Amino acid sequence: MLCERCQKQEATIHVTQTRQGKTTEHHFCDSCARELGIGHSITDYFGTIGNLFGSGMLGGGSAFNHTGGIPAFGAAVPRNITCPRCGQTFEQFRHTGLFGCSQCYTAFADLLDPVFRRVQGNTRHIGHKHEPSEAQLRAERLSTRLSELKHALKLAVDEENYEQAARLRDEIRQLQQAGTQPDERGKT
């Protein structure tokens, strides 16, 4: 049997997939299977079996079964994307169906549109907007000020104005320390 993808090589990897009671078979040659990321785990290509909205909602079925995982993607998915804040990988997200922290949304941004299209039928929030809290506004102001100072520091170093650079570096340090003080938020 020929590989269903390249239609040239002999198919050596055979995959049987059952979803919503329907069984389908796929046949790939070695090199196509490798390119598609099949090999370590078949579910890497086909997604974990389980359809978010497929099962009946009554009698034990839930809207989101956390062992069900995230449905299939149309292409091979990079497995090694890791959220820099919480350390959760995209693979773990697909497996558990849960993000690890709010930063995961940014870390996995390139892969999320298909997920949301499938789960929600949409990819953009149009409801109520969150007004940033005082703490968030302060953090934003701090971050803007820090980037300004860092930019100025770079210029000062480029111009060999070391006195100015030292002053800027101290100011940056002070601001960074203040920003990490746990009680800072409650002070004002």
Partner 1 sequence: MTWYIDQGPDSDVMISSRVRLARNLEQVPFPHRMDAQTARKAADEIVKAFFQDDTERKRHYLLVDLDSLSLEDRLALAEKRLISEDLAKAGDGSFHRAMISRDESVSIMINEEDHIRIQSMQPGLNLEQAFDGAKQAASILERELPVAYHEKYGYLTACPTNTGTGMRASVMAHLPGLAMGGRIKDTVDGLIKLGFAVRGHYGEHSKSQGNLFQISNQLTLGISEEDLINDLKRMLQQLIEQERGVRRELYRRQPLLLEDRVMRAFATLKSARLMTHEEATELLSTVRLGMALGLLPNLQPSDVNRIYALIGPASIQKAHGQAMTPAERDSARATAVRDLLERSGA
Closest distance between partner 1 and the C-beta of residue 180, in Å? Answer: 11
Which tokens go with 85? 């804040």
44: Cα within 13 Å, side-chain hemisphere: 16
- From 37-45, 74-82, 85-93, 162-170, span contacting partner 1 (CB under 8 A): 85-93
Tell me if 66 contacts partner 1 by CB under 8 A.
Answer: yes
Q: Which of residues 86-115 bind partner 1 (CB under 8 A)?
A: 86, 88, 96-102, 105-106, 112, 115
Helix (H) or strand (E) holding 44: helix 43-46
CA-based nearest residue to 35, from 11, 5, 71 = 5
Tell me if 144 contacts partner 1 by CB under 8 A.
Answer: no
The site that binds partner 1 (CB under 8 A) totals a number of residues, namely 46
- Give the phi and the psi of residue 19 in degrees, each rounded to 5: -140, 130
How far is residue 48's CA from residue 32's CA, in Å, rounded to a whole number?
Answer: 20
Region of residue 50 (phi > 0: left; psi between -120 and 50: alpha; otherwise: beta): left
Among 21, 60, 74, 84, binds partner 1 (CB under 8 A): 60
**Whose Cβ is closer to partner 1: residue 22's or residue 124's?**
124
**Whose Cβ is closer to partner 1: residue 15's or residue 86's?**
86
Binding site for partner 1 (CB under 8 A): 52-53, 56-60, 62-64, 66, 70, 85-86, 88, 96-102, 105-106, 112, 115-116, 119-136, 139
